Amino acid sequence: MRIGPSHVFTALTAVVVMAVVWMHYGTDDGLSTISSGISETLIGESLKSTMARSEKLWQKTVRQRHEVMEKFGEMGFFPAVNVATYFTTPYSVWDLVPASYNCPFEVERIGRMGDGGKWVCGMSKYEKNTRPCIIYSFGVQNESSFEEEMLERTNCQIWGYDFSVEAFGPAIQNTYASRTHFLKAGISGTTELSQNPPFYTIQDLMAKNGHTYIDILKIDIEYAEFDALTAFDKHTSSEPEYPIGQMLIEIHLFNRGKTLVEFLTWWEALEARGWRPAWTEPNLLAVTLSLEDKNPRLAEYSLVNVKGKSNPLFR
């Protein structure tokens, strides 16, 4: 290869640029600062573009949901009871609320396999968060493997509530006891202190604990999720953002009078506040344990709040 004047000029230019950068920043730390700044910018832009694409995917499923409802109307949660009715109405309630928003980070199961474990979007973000994060756990029973792993891997503190047990499950050892707070109480749409055990709204518990934001809400309260979250939505409707970052919820569609239209109205009220379903998992206990009509009336969802500026996932 013959080296011409242009090659020499290019090489000299590169040397001069490197020398200027070195003189300006002085040390390798200065160069690292430049590299870090560029990386953060690229990551930020990548996150924005990923979220924008995910939003379009979610919007697509919302349109499809509306098309189905416009065509079939109030068809019930599980309209197909045999082959003939399947070809007439080939949908169930869970088909209309798919987890169509891609979590822009890893999705990891935290806690045990089966009932009790939860899928968390962006676990690494909570591990790296220097601020002690706040977790509320509604519905503890005697299984606390989720809480145990969150305490083990993050610096979070957990506030737990359950009217049917006296404390967290045996998975919570003394090592983590200082970062846990338990109250034997139920969760509802109205606070009833005269009951024994008492019942609280989400907003009253936050006020009681001096909290303005919950990083992760784990909620498994056997159908009471509808009243509790409806009351909280109304309470926070005037606030600039919904003060919860991620919600790990088990939805219970027991046969208690709620219609498909009513459920979707409740669901879309959450979506309007910025909630996006990033993961779902069927809970088949209603089927395997022959509860009610054996229909799959339980489902786990991991939802992320994409409108919240306080959400550690998107900071």
pLDDT of the residue at 44: 59
Angle at the Cα of 99 from the Cα atoms of 93 and 105, rounded to 5 degrees: 165
> What are the φ/ψ torsions at residue 39 (nearest 5 degrees)?
-60, -45
pLDDT of the residue at 31: 38
pTM: 0.83
Longest dimension (CA), the chain: 92
- pLDDT higher than 60, residue 130: yes
pLDDT of the residue at 200: 98
The 10s digit of each residue's pLDDT in 46-71 is: 989 999 999 999 999 999 999 999 99
The 10s digit of each residue's pLDDT in 20-43 is: 334 444 444 543 443 344 344 445
Q: Which residues contact 86 (CB under 8 A, 6 or more apart)?
A: 80
The 10s digit of each residue's pLDDT in 239-294 is: 989 999 999 999 999 877 899 999 999 999 999 999 999 999 998 888 888 788 88
Q: Structural domains in the chain?
A: 5-45 (no CATH), 73-314 (3.40.50)
Mean model confidence pLDDT for the chain = 87
pLDDT of the residue at 302: 98
Mean pLDDT across 169-186 = 88
